[in-house]
């Protein structure tokens, strides 16, 4: 089954780059990226490599802003 959107559009790549710019450790396996921050709270987030939901990237960003020390793509 083909994803509902093109994962090569760059949306998730920009999200992963923003993790790396903020000093998060990003590891990739077959199905997920695992992002871990280096703050005292040790926040972490799993990001699907090829999600099917059209708004997956936006949902991940909202959750990160709400629950972690992630500062958005501006950094």
More confident residue, 20 or 7: 20
Asked if the model's pLDDT at residue 6 lies above 50, the reply is no
How many angstroms separate the most distant Cα atoms in the chain? 41
CA distance 31 to 74: 27
Asked if the model's pLDDT at residue 8 lies above 70, the reply is no
9 pLDDT band, cuts 50/70/90, is low
Asked if the model's pLDDT at residue 74 lies above 80, the reply is no
Q: Are 67 and 43 in contact (CB under 8 A)?
A: yes
Taking the whole predicted model, whether its pTM rises above 0.85 is answered as: no
Q: Are 22 and 75 in contact (CB under 8 A)?
A: yes
Asked if the model's pLDDT at residue 22 lies above 50, the reply is yes
């Amino acid at each position: 089954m083909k994803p509902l959107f093109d994962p090569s559009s760059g949306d998730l790549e920009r999200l992963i780059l923003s993790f790396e710019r903020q000093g998060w450790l990003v590891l990739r396996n077959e199905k997920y990226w695992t992002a871990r921050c280096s703050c005292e709270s040790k926040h972490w987030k799993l990001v699907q490599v090829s999600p099917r939901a059209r708004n997956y990237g936006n949902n991940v960003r909202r959750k990160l802003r709400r629950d972690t020390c992630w500062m958005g793509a501006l950094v």
